[in-house]
Amino acid sequence: MPERAESDRLVTSAAVRLGRLLYGSVLGVMAVNGLQNADAQAEYAEAKGVPAPWFATVYAHLLLLAGAVGITLWRWPRAAASTVALFFVGVTPVIHDFWSIDDAEQAQQEQLAFLKNVGLLGAALVFLELARRSE
């Protein structure tokens, strides 16, 4: 029980609340942007070989939005962090496959997007562990 009490204090600390707000806001903006630009995002996904690209694009961004809200409000945090992690695990290597791009400038842009997503995945895993410990 001491581990849970410590986790509860950590989750409700000002720094973690602010971190959840900032992280959730970034994810929310990414999700809304993806939904608002679903047609263009789907075209890009189709070019990367994603099956049912429009459906996959909308579904993935809805998952991201749900996860963003859940982490920010700390409602169903384990499910929320899991959906965010699932988004990044599914999207990142397929959409930002910098290793397969011949144009150096485009490859560098994709590598930066890939690394950004890996960092955001890492944060989702931290929130997943916080959620697990606070249950």
- CA–CA distance, 16 with 26 (Å, rounded to integer): 15
pLDDT digits (tens, 9 = 90+) for 23-43: 999 999 999 999 999 999 999
Tell whether pTM > 0.85.
yes
- Find the helix or strand (DSSP H, E) in which 26 lies: helix 14-36
Max intra-chain CA distance, the chain: 55
**Regions in the chain scoring below 70 on pLDDT:** 1-8, 10
